[in-house]
Chains A and B, each alone.
Chain A
Amino acid sequence: QVQLVQSGAEVKKPGASVKVSCKDSGYIFTGNYIHWVRQAPGQGLEWMGWINSNSGGTSYSPRFQGRVTMTMDTSISTAYMELSRLRSDDTAVYYCAMVLSGTYYFDYWGQGILVTVSS
């Protein structure tokens, strides 16, 4: 049973950074792509980028380029997403989602993490 388990809710001040995690309990990270998708309250899904679990290669949405960093610790099957220079409109639920190699859809999702940016 594949499960992506994300870390707990975060509250941050404007200008700060947040680093959230996503742990694969099903041991399928290897060779696949971990994406990060966010959803502001009452809004749609917004794709942020991905990291390849084998190579560590990344691709970031131009909207977040320069503010987002995606990393992995393969020894503990955990992916991380760090977003810097937070603004109030970064308040959202942040999901990790897996795209299996060779496919083009989000097959497995984490439960989501609410990140609140408020002074």
Chain B
Amino acid sequence: QSALTQPASVSGSPGQSITISCTGTSSDVGGYNYVSWYQQHPGKAPKVMIYDVSNRPSGVSNRFSGSKSGNTASLTISGLQAEDEADYFCGSYVTSTTFWVFGGGTKLTVL
């Protein structure tokens, strides 16, 4: 199973919005709405920010939003803050299997 494709890095200034893409296939991202996004600060475990394409867990800021079109999912962070600087990973269930797959990760830099 190939990893999902994410840009290696994105950057933005405080207050701006950024979008991170996650491209897969019709077997994973495009299969069902089981795409999730994780934030990881250095030396820490990942934390789920978005699940099932566009749902936010309790406690996650509404500045984080998710969407999907075809085989590409996207994470948008609006009103960038310094604490948003982290690595972001997408993940997806692989349909017709019992497998999961992750993206390679995107490093977000807040300028």
Chain A residues at the B interface, C-beta cutoff of 8 Å? 35, 37, 43-47, 50, 59, 61-62, 95, 97, 103-107, 109-112
Contact = CB atoms under 8 A, between A and B. Distances in A.
A59 B36 CA distance: 20
A103 B51 CA distance: 9
A54 B19 CA distance: 39
B45 A44 contact: no
A104 B98 contact: no
Interface residues of B, number: 24
A95 B93 contact: no
Interface in B60-111: 89, 91, 93, 98-105
A67 B104 CA distance: 23
Given A62-B1, A104-B34, A104-B52, A47 B102 contact: yes
